[in-house]
Structure 1
């Protein structure tokens, strides 16, 4: 019995020893404590030499802590006033855009040069020349005059040299367009009985010609010439027109006079715009009017009323008619009606880059007896340019 008790005791002791060993093995080792990190002053450890270069230690901030002192608005240099666009310079715009114009009008220039360069210029060829000019919307009378002049010069000179023919064609097209016509815009302050006043420019046209957009582009063009401008949103029939015009104005820092309610009297808005322009001593007041159908007598009469009301301040210096070059001969009929109502002084021909009918420039001038003063050659904000006959013809024939 005693032997059995001894054996059992030994087993218990061995078991306890084994359990203790296992517990000691799995117990995590105590981390060796690190000495405290020295306090840092001005990025250096206390007691370190100021001329020593120290790398960041563990836990050091790699960047300026978020809770460090930050700059306030007063510490930051901000531009004064609202940020506005800087329009492209006006000078040379048409030259810069001539490639776009040349691509769309290649049928006119290159087609004519190809016909005139043939070995034999018989009657059939001259008829093709005439047809090409007519398809370009130059008009019957100018076409007849150009063809007759070319036939005479080719007969006398007997040339088929492309460069000579190009020169002759350029001369005839320039003669048809007119190089001695005053195409300048009245954008200088005027002197009247009551003293100096802004130049007043009204912009008119039918629905869908991009008239309000054109007014915005004209404003940019004037700002590029360092002119102070006020816009008048006298298109009160289309709800978005005033907002659209105001957006164009804001982009170049130009104020817009508009009505607080839709359907307001457009003549009153135009009158207020000129009044504000006089008080602010600006250079130009630019008035956008509602698009109208030329066969709606009531609307056309109202346009005449807008002009008469504005003239209480003084004469309207420019009435610009916006025409879509892609409408061709239909645009000429529109132009004639508008000219009777408001005495148009100049044409703005838009979308000229989107048509092969560049001859519309000749036709519209002959129809109205007023010059094309501005041309639109794209959808960009600065794709509006003063019309330059030589640059235009060069683009046609390039």
Structure 2
């Protein structure tokens, strides 16, 4: 029986450093305190390429060195956009009482009795090396572009699953041979199991995912240690166990479940995995259909311990109501929170064009079409149009001035009532020059 501390998806970066380093430091303390025989990180140790002077790179190196002082460490290549090819090689140079092995290619690695790693020259060993304590089959992130170049972009999704299924079946004989000799055999990979669930509760049901549980179980490894999905989950057929530890910290709002790492007990005849939660930050998410309700926010703040928590408030309002959102009042209601993120969505006013207006033959027909689309009475508008067509601007202006002076009953500007064309013409003609 061998004890394995299994970490994944650390996502070290300067912008995530406060969260992930606190969680990973706690996890390293726990792994050391629980007497881990080996530590394995199944990909995405970094969030993106990090410069040598990055505080995040230095912090990650310190934690890996702490692990290497306690036990042998294996780091698997993760998603290339998170861990650029070659980045992990730096950690193999850290030194320490025990070695750090970086698995960048499809291979098998044996942990020997002297605490050293021995890698296969080909994709697998012919037989387990003498003195092997743990046999690891490493399947790092595969380059789909290389596969697409050989099978075509349209066939790469199906081909990836087929190739991996054949590969996993090809590993079964040596896994069974190792287990028969009393050596635990495990698989280590970074990818997506069809049917797994993301940290936001979304099932991964597409056809382009790398693995199926049937293919992983067919490898006959005692355990399959996976990375890439940020939610802890596991599958068990009674003998073999497949599990994601999930991400080490909480990096996004709305993530479900606890964050942590796995402590494995693996023997030649089976495996067990236990999630050890980390002190990941607490998050809350409040959503409003309309402007945020300040009374509801205040009630939420009274009902929850917000000290140290991060809160996101989302709302959706129409364009004309956008001014009713008081961001300062929202922040004041949640003042005890460690962080507040406000996300408002403004729905623009939709203005529908009058269908058919471009086909109208004259201005009056266009006006009637527009009035029908706007559901208003066209008669007052048509009366105004007739006045504009028959009177000169100075005559209309003169009539307006005359109305102000003598209190005439006719209001040219009142479009709610039809105009008396004869009265307007008479008044305009009699107005002084």
- Structure 2 length-normalised TM: 0.28
Larger Rg: 1
The TM-score, its normalising length taken from structure 1, stands at 0.30
Higher relative contact order (CA 8 A, sep 6+): 1
Which structure: greater strand fraction? 2
